[in-house]
Structure 1
Amino acid sequence: MKFEVSDLLFPAFTKDAMKNLDKQYGIEFFYEFGKDYYWNQQLEDWGERAFSIHAPCVALNLADKEQEIYKQAMEKTFAYAQKCKADFVVVHTNEAIAGDKEQLRELVISRLRKVITLGESYGVKVLIENVGLRTKNNVLFDLPAYLALFETFPQAGALIDTGHAHVNGWDIPEVVKALGERLAACHVHDNDGNGDAHLPVGQGDIEWTAYFDAVKKYAPQATQVFEYCCGFNNTKDLEEHIAELKANYKL
């Protein structure tokens, strides 16, 4: 089982903290929050290790029919992913939604088809993340619709975000089982079911024993990306936390 750390934990000028992260851990970074020259320097500082990229999701919304910049933004993302030999690029189906859900799903699927084809042209693996929150009324792809995406796009991989799934009431171990070998990665973080808090494992009420047991049994190939936004201000304490998880859950 492979492990990565999202740079969400160390934003802006604190990203240099990641250069102290043990090389056994990969790094997933939010490409939209920096120019290429910035990421070139970050990757040099972070050293040789596994990388993955989170595609634009703040300034980009595939469910917004007025936004036509998505192809340009995604092509830049894939070009950089190719350059840094990223293992995969994570793509959101949508952010805020407004309008008829069926029509919006059709729009997003048509755009995903173009995005995935573009990714293939750069030799980049595209992972589709489960997004939207019950508490924000922006769930466009519920569980059946999300799983159906991988029948439509068998060439894409799945990325399960545990926090989103928990807020939306999904049975996460059963989702892991259903996806099986299609599950390429997971965003791992905790919450109390009422909001997307991005807490460290154990600080919410997700049933982690059942989750990790399911991953070990049905999707051991899935990279575990710790997508925390709080709880640690240095990589030493973070590494101790991950080591404790690996020991407790026999990872």
Structure 2
Amino acid sequence: MNFEISDLLFPGFTKKALRELDSSYGIEFFYEFGKDYYWNEEVAAWGERSLSIHGPCVALNLADAKQKNYAKVWDKTFAYAKKVKADFVVVHTNEELPASEEQEAVQARVIRRLRKVVNLGQKYGVQVLIENVGLRPKESLLFDLAEYIALFDIFPEAGALLDTGHANVNGWEIPAVVEALGDKLKACHIHDNDGLGDAHLPLGEGNIDWKAYFAAVKKFAPQSTQVLEYCCGFSDTQSLEEHLAGLKKKYRLK
């Protein structure tokens, strides 16, 4: 089972800690938070390992009709992904939803824009993964479970990225989602919470049933990359690697 570490855990001036990460673990990084010269230096320092890119999700919202520059932003993102030979790029369908529009209209806009994004990914030969995003408590859930799964009928070229934290907050039965996605599930953002908010906690610090989750992954989506998308709990890679070793032993992960 391939594991990657999201650089969400090491923001700003702490990011150089990732240079010490064992090369058997990949790295997923938020490309929008740095210039190319910055990422060039970091990627070189990370050495030979698997890489993936988290696409723009703070300064860009596909659901916002006022944002017309999304294609240019995504073109630049995919160009860099190709340059560093990223295994995949993560795409959010939306962030906050427009307050005065019908959900169906916003869904139609996002699907139109996703078509352009997916096509750009294909242009650069980069695998596009569509993440389940949006949280019911924040009224930002644009695609419910059935609608999210249906996206992969609309975009068979794309793969799925299941975010366990988002799924838990939205009340989805996570092992069943893994089974439903099957070989479309190319990667997962794994982190924990109490079901009330998207806390990005280390595994075991919330109420997600990780035994059931990993059993489902091993059975239905063994090809999926497991990306630890923590925001807290570790300040260095040594303790993080010890945590990962503990997870592998506990859940019998190879």
The letter for the 1-side match of 2:249 is A
Report how many aligned residue pairs link the two structures: 251
Q: Could you say which residue in structure 2 is the equivalent of 1:116?
A: 118
Once the two structures are TM-superposed, the CA of residue 44 in structure 1 deviates from its matched residue by 1.1
In the alignment, which residue of structure 1 is the partner of 2:91? 91
Offset of residue 87 of structure 1: 0.0
Q: Tell me the alpha carbon deviations over residues 43-67 of structure 1, each in whole angstroms, 9 at most, x when there is no partner.
A: 0111111000000000000000110
Q: Return the alpha-carbon distance in structure 2 between the equivalents of residues 244 and 195 of structure 1.
A: 26
Tell me how far apart the structure 2 counterparts of residues 78 and 222 of structure 1 sit (CA, whole Å). Answer: 21
Cα RMSD for the two superposed structures: 0.4
Per the TM alignment, residue 135 of structure 1 is displaced from its structure 2 partner at its CA by 1.2
Q: Secondary structure at the match of 1:199?
A: coil
Q: Is residue 2:220 matched to residue 1:222?
A: no
SS at match of 1:247: helix
> Matches of 1:169 and 1:69 in 2, distance apart?
34
> Is the partner of 2:226 in helix, strand or coil?
strand
Q: Which residue of 2 aligns with 1:23?
A: 23
Name the aligned partner's letter for residue 166 of structure 2.
H
Matches within 5 A, 1:69-148: 69-98=69-98, 99-148=101-150
Question: Runs (4+) of structure 1 moved beyond 6 Å?
Answer: none
SS at match of 2:68: coil
CA distance in 1, matches of 2:204, 2:187: 20
What pairs up with 1:161-180 in 2 under 5 angstroms? 161-180=163-182
Q: How far apart are 1:134 and its partner, in Å?
A: 1.1
State the alpha-carbon separation in 2 of the partners of residues 225 and 77 from structure 1.
Answer: 19
**3-state SS, counterpart of residue 22 of structure 1:** coil
Deviation of 1:222 (Å): 0.3
The percent of aligned pairs where both chains have the same amino acid is: 67
- Amino acid in structure 1 at the alignment position of 2:20: N
Unpaired segments of 5 or more residues in structure 2? none
Pairing 1:153-232 to 2, within 5 Å after superposition: 153-232=155-234
Deviations 1:101-152, CA, capped at 9 Å, x for gaps: 0000000000000000010000000000000011101000000110000000
**Residue identity in the other structure for 2:29:** F
TM superposition score normalised by structure 2: 0.98
Task: Give the aligned partner of residue 51 of structure 1.
Answer: 51
